[in-house]
Structure 1
């Protein structure tokens, strides 16, 4: 990355921070490759905390200039008006993704809001802090469409889609994920929003070994599939996604819908469209949901892809 491009980063940061609502938001998305020389830099606003992430090792001059600019921000009227409390630089390229607190004190477990819903985050100890911000439009769509539906949420992680669905009036959501700790965080997210936990199931299963159990709780009016691109020993996107798609006809209710997601820059929307034609030809591609505008990418097919089928 290029030190001489950092003034552009700070210009964008000031503009986006000034315009940001009182919710969690991505403020700078260098990984969309719209800012030359800053492709490995992002910045998120965690309602008072600024999390700057570096995805590739940089030289000392870049780090020094970045830190100087961030510390200057902490003394600005804008920072005071936004009630900023801390600034953190996370070195995502390094083992363990260590975090460095530049200003204030890190609140590692903040409760934030997105589209009026509350989520518990976990900052500084993992690469991902518990809510994928580029999926906001997908969660909003689910909230709008979920009323009186039986929803299956595959690869549920911390249950963001589940929270949105119950808030939108779903009768039941079944969350499936191998990580029981992530599902526990999902349970807490529901409690934060005052939801009836009796309407929500949390299944700590390997999806491919548990189709029978999953099927028993169907049929489903809406199925959300949001897998990792790769999970060692359990999921490889290009190999395993089709194994899920071929199960959809026996899981879906008549007129049911599927939200299928993929976030690998190496895999295009056509992979899902062709895979669905091959494995579940009863389902037709309807549309691709928009990503939040702050996640604009010069190549839309390299960014998050959220596809709707019916």
Structure 2
């Protein structure tokens, strides 16, 4: 973070404050590696709160310079006219992801909106605020494709997909995540949107020990898989994702869909396409969802990969998948081999 890099950040922040969106958005995505020296900085607009995340510890003098820049922002006409009231700096590289208020008062919670839906976020108490902004188009897709369907939301976290599914008219949603506190926040998010909790199930279990319960609550018309890259003691993406894929045919109704996601910058879309062809050949690749433009990456496969698959089935045998389903088309862009890219925290 030399002087030139900080000048670039300052320019972006002033431009962003002059044209703030009505809803929560990423304003600066340094982790897309398009601005040298700023690869470990992101800035999010949380509708009154500007959240700056620092993913790698800088030198002491660099941190001081960054803080001076951010504090000075509060003295500018752009800040005063923006409606912003608080600027938080979160040190994501620290074990407790400590957060400090550089402008305004510290704030621990706030309700934000996305696509007309409301979510309760945390600031300063946890590594992640409670909503992954790069998945905005994924939630939009689920909302548009959930009408009348039974939905299984794996690695549900705070149930953003579930909120979107019910908003789209889903008949029933099953949320599974071993983090029960996150599921509790998911209940809060449903209540914020005046949604019927009788149409939602919350399973605070480890997935690989709960297949029987998951299967009993099915079958499903839509399954969402959005796992972490690594979860100590329970999930390692490159080893365990295939175990989920091979279970999909027995969980899906005939013609059911899957939204399968990976957010490891070192793993390309072909990881999912090839894995599905190998483990669940009845599911054919349909499309890869675009990422929001504010998450542009220097490499097309460096950001989120959210792929849609649909299960073919044998005519006359409802709910059974065809073993002769063709190999799915390759996802674009092509990126079959693992690239070595530094990752300091799993999700940005």
Deviations 1:151-182 (A, max 9, x none): 00000000000000000110110000101111
Q: Which has the higher helix share?
A: 1
Deviations 1:246-305 (A, max 9, x none): 000011011110000001112111011010001100000111101110000011212110
2:27 is paired with a residue whose SS is strand
CA distance in 1, matches of 2:143, 2:122: 24
CA distance in 1, matches of 2:296, 2:16: 14
Query: Where does residue 103 of structure 1 map in the other structure?
Result: 103
Shift of 1:72: 2.1
Query: Where does residue 225 of structure 2 map in the other structure?
Result: 225
Against the structure 1 CA distance between its residues 3 and 58, is the aligned structure 2 distance closer, same or farther, given a 3 Å change threshold?
farther
Shift of 1:18: 2.5
1:284 is paired with a residue whose SS is strand
> Is structure 2 residue 296 aligned with structure 1 residue 296?
yes
CA distance in 1, matches of 2:77, 2:23: 20
| Structure 1 unmatched runs, 5+ | none
State the superposition RMSD in angstroms: 1.1
CA distance in 2, matches of 1:191, 1:210: 26
Query: Where does residue 47 of structure 1 map in the other structure?
Result: 47
1:301 is paired with a residue whose SS is coil
- Contact 1:3–1:61, Cα closer than 8 Å, also in 2: no
Deviations 1:60-110 (A, max 9, x none): 332222222222221222222221111111111122111121111122110
CA distance in 1, matches of 2:141, 2:59: 42
- Spell out the pairing of 1:237-256 with structure 2 (5 A cutoff): 237-256=237-256
Deviations 1:17-74 (A, max 9, x none): 3323221111111000011111111111111111111111212332222222222221
- Spell out the pairing of 1:1-310 with structure 2 (5 A cutoff): 1-310=1-310
Shift of 1:117: 0.6
CA distance in 2, matches of 1:306, 1:13: 29
Q: How many residues end up aligned between the 2 structures?
A: 310
1:94 is paired with a residue whose SS is coil
CA distance in 2, matches of 1:48, 1:215: 43
Deviations 1:172-213 (A, max 9, x none): 100001011110000000000000010100011111111111
CA distance in 2, matches of 1:309, 1:245: 11
Shift of 1:142: 0.6
CA distance in 2, matches of 1:179, 1:244: 18
- Contact 2:53–2:89, Cα closer than 8 Å, also in 1: yes
TM-score (norm 1): 0.97
| Structure 2 unmatched runs, 5+ | 311-348
